[in-house]
Chains A and B, each alone.
Chain A
């Protein structure tokens, strides 16, 4: 109830074909995934995914899947920034189920503690990865994987991050970087290695096959998976 009033007009329609625009993705016209409803910590936000009712063009399933990079726009000191994140978890809420509302999380599962929700909803957990500046012509520049300092707001719109922007965000001095990895592992908890592997696989799919970064990413993926297996007692 508290959130529906200021929903923007999503009717501008052009957004669906923008991610395929290879040259310069227009960050304004990216698919909107949902809006922030709460946070669990400075880097860990809960997003309510848009439904038919909320906008003309709700995200399709594959546009808000596990491991999908996202961004939130923030203007800081007159400069527009993209706060980058990734969907690392999802949860379904059915308020009619036993009238208990969403599962009131125990302390150790504190990811989702949304407030009162009255309709069936899909919630997505978004972990923040870093930030970048948005240039005049709508591209991102100066990506950094350091912890974002700014706090997002409830109702901030979360956008699907197109592939090209994902690659730019992960490229520092021609070298692929995932310097947020330790933080992400921490936030994503049990699914930490899976979300990193999903990100790596996405990046690998975006890079040319003979890109030297492919092998580096292989090594990183191996390490993450091995550590996860060790932690889970497989090896």
Chain B
């Protein structure tokens, strides 16, 4: 405390809020908003380092704006003309909010309930200390080498600090069991950040069992983890990346619930719904789990008569929507033991399925996996005897606020109960306002990136209570790869730069110009007559081949 060499500012007095104070710095100590600073107070006779977050910065003394009157004349030139020294002229008033001191018993921040006295010197919080106390790592000292801990994910570093200076390692267990939300506009780095987390979870120190529901084919490059030294364990461990293409995605018909079936049928009448429910119930009570549409129709005819009009109409709809859709099958099912395993990351490639089919396969898989997890925890026979974590791109598609998705029910169940059964979800979405509020508010850890749409910002504010206003204010101004991490995995929210992936990123936007030019060249090479054929009888307006 006596050493003032690292002092960057001096407390001026209390701020507007009970937890706020104001301090003053000269211009050469450039402190940004979001920076973490610290000062020492005595709590029960023990000196404690209290941390505070800078929330606002304003100039209280500087060159007058009149000096800026001519854009071609620099204000420092005007100042020099008037003999005003330009170095050390500026003074800044900054506002900071007290976070607290790190209580090593509680392993989180405790509020000292007293603001620093005017005149208290302030320093920039040291790297290692922040690395220890910002994430919820449960460290028993306030300065630990967190890189040596198991089960942590290195997601990036504090945005206000130089690259890789103050790194953020978040506890995987925390976000994998109490669910995760990654929210941002398109192109802000959601898939990129999710891939960083996947890489971290697949390292030898964690060996997670992961499932990625990928409606856009954005995770095709994860396989490059295989063969990379960073992912290899001393015991020969290497992550297994399994791609499940749409041809192998199957839903066994008997796994569908009556609500799922209703969702795929075109507007069934009330009477049709009645008949189908009755027949579906009796089919599900049967011993066999491998029945098809034929058997179902036979059951309906047996109950309601072969010439019942509703049964006839149902038959037509069932054959069209279920029997003729390759996704559904009387016997085949996605074998759970193929898609979940420790050290395995399975990417379910759903990019060729339509939205309804994506929802149905998701619904059925989640339901089956949840059942197995439930069985495992209750000591019943189970196909999945370890915790699992499932990531969803386009999360609002599977848990929509509108309620219109068969998967919503099971998503709600898992997000509210899953932590007891070792089943975590990660919801990725560019439209937080379109996600079911129950699901979103159950996501204990949030990674929020650039988002401009006001209703989406509101959705984040409402569900992400852990991130204070001052941090959320940053969201519209972030650039791709910058994120606010908040919630259960953190002791206090932090603004970070997400680190670079080890594997290449597979979800860039398409090189449009290049593709146009290639397509044009391709077209040029085509024989002329086929071109005129395309235009029917009309004259071709295309550029003719020159030879």
Chain A neighbourhood of B80, CB < 8 A: 175, 177
**For the complex, is B302 an interface residue (Cβ under 8 Å from A)?**
no
**With contact pairs A216-B73, A219-B73, A220-B78 given, residues A181 and B83 touching in the complex (Cβ less than 8 Å):** yes
Number of interface residues of A (CB under 8 A): 20
Report A-chain residues with C-beta under 8 Å of the C-beta of B83. 145, 177-181
Residue pair B81, A223 in contact (C-beta under 8 Å): no
- Which A residues are in CB contact (< 8 Å) with B82? 177-179, 181-182, 220
Q: Which residues of B contact A176 (CB under 8 A)?
A: 81
Which residue on B lies nearest to A223, using beta carbons?
A: B66
In the complex, which residues 58-112 of chain B have their Cβ closer than 8 Å to any Cβ of chain A? 64, 66-67, 69-70, 72-73, 77-78, 80-83
Name A192-224 residues within 8 Å CB distance of B.
Answer: 213, 215-220, 222-223
What residues on B are CB-neighbors of A219 within 8 Å? 66-67, 69-70, 73, 78
Closest CB in chain B relative to A229 CB, distance in Å: 12
Contacts of A179 in B (CB 8 A): 81-83
Question: Nearest chain-B residue to A225 (Cβ)?
Answer: B66
Q: Find chain A residues with CB under 8 A from B81 CB.
A: 175-179, 213, 216-217, 220
CB distance from B432 to the nearest CB of A (A): 48
Give the shortest distance, in Å, between A19 (CB) and chain B (any CB).
26
Shortest Cβ distance from residue B436 to the other chain A in the assembled complex, whole angstroms: 57
A183 to chain B, nearest CB (A): 10
A178 partner residues in chain B, CB cutoff 8 A: 81-83
Nearest chain A CB to B65 CB, angstrom units: 10
- List A contacts of B77 (CB < 8 A): 175, 216
Tell me the bound Cα distance from A175 to B82 in angstroms: 11
- How many whole Å from A10's CB to the nearest CB in chain B? 36
- A226–B78 Cα distance when bound, in Å, is 15
User: Which residues from chain B contact A182 at a C-beta distance below 8 Å?
Assistant: 82
Q: In the complex, what residue of chain B is closest to A222 when comparing beta carbons?
A: B69
Offer 28 A-B interface pairs, CB within 8 angstroms, sorted by A: A145-B83, A175-B77, A175-B80, A175-B81, A176-B81, A177-B81, A177-B82, A177-B83, A178-B81, A178-B82, A178-B83, A179-B82, A181-B83, A213-B81, A216-B73, A216-B77, A217-B81, A218-B69, A218-B73, A219-B66, A219-B70, A219-B78, A222-B69, A223-B64, A223-B67, A223-B69, A223-B78, A227-B66
For the complex of A and B, the 7 pairs showing the least CB-CB separation, nearest first, are: A179-B83, A223-B66, A219-B69, A215-B73, A219-B70, A219-B78, A216-B73
Give 9 new A-B contacts, CB below 8 A, not counting A176-B81, A216-B81: A145-B83, A175-B81, A177-B80, A178-B81, A215-B73, A218-B70, A219-B73, A222-B66, A223-B78
